[in-house]
């Protein structure tokens, strides 16, 4: 558990620090956010053709209402949390990559629902827009990352413990147990 906690914190600090660097913002985050805006507009246009995107901005042509997808609203922070949790946990790399890929799509899928709902909510009522934007959706996106991680943990195949009989249900990667952190006392 200690190994997981330290690695999780190191990954979080490192990735969040990397994310805020201007070169990373310019080369990765802003283009990624523009793609999210374009996908949002593509989905909106299935039902409403009066919408355009320009970079990270989505605009309704009839009303002129627009939203800008800013840092913190593009799902990157939730992805960083999920990445840190998955890659800090002792599991095979293949399972980590598969878990993160599925989590990426789960988080970004929910984030698209968030962006589109906020786009329409802002045209309807700014009080509700602000409340949903600042409180409800922020919590749901982070909760999505937590749920994906917990499901990923649950679906990991059991690994036999060293010295154990390898029977079903025995795991050496149990987050509540890290054999490397236990000291054995002899009497």
- Tell me the pLDDT tens digit for each residue of 79-111: 999 999 999 999 999 999 999 999 999 999 999
Q: Is the pLDDT of residue 77 over 60?
A: yes
In the chain, which ranges are continuous DSSP H helix? 2-20, 22-24, 30-45, 76-88, 93-124, 126-131, 137-155
Q: For residues 69 and 37, is the Cβ–Cβ distance under 8 A?
A: yes
d(CA 42, CA 20): 28
d(CA 136, CA 144): 12
- 73: nearest Cα among 22, 107, 26: 107
pLDDT band at 158 (very low <50, low <70, confident <90, very high): confident
For the whole model, what pTM was predicted?
Answer: 0.79
Per DSSP, what are the bridge partners of residue 54? 57
Please state the rounded mean pLDDT for residues 153-168.
Answer: 69
């Amino acid at each position: 558990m200690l190994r997981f906690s330290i690695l999780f914190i190191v990954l979080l600090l490192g990735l969040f620090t990397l994310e805020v660097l201007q070169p990373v913002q310019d080369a990765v985050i802003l283009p990624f956010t523009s793609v999210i805006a374009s996908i949002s507009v593509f989905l909106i246009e299935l039902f409403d053709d009066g919408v355009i995107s320009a970079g990270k901005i989505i605009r309704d042509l009839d009303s002129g209402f627009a939203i800008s997808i800013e840092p913190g609203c593009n799902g990157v922070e939730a992805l960083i949390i999920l990445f840190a949790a998955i890659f800090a946990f002792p599991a095979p790399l293949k399972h980590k990559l598969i878990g993160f890929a599925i989590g990426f799509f789960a988080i970004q899928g929910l984030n698209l629902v968030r962006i589109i709902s906020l786009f329409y909510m802002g045209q309807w009522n700014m009080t509700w827009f602000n409340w949903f934007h600042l409180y409800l959706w922020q919590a749901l996106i982070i909760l999505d990352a937590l749920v994906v991680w917990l499901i990923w943990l649950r679906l990991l195949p059991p690994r036999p413990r060293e010295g154990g009989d390898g029977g079903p249900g025995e795991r050496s990667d149990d987050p509540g147990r890290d054999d490397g952190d236990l000291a054995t006392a002899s009497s």
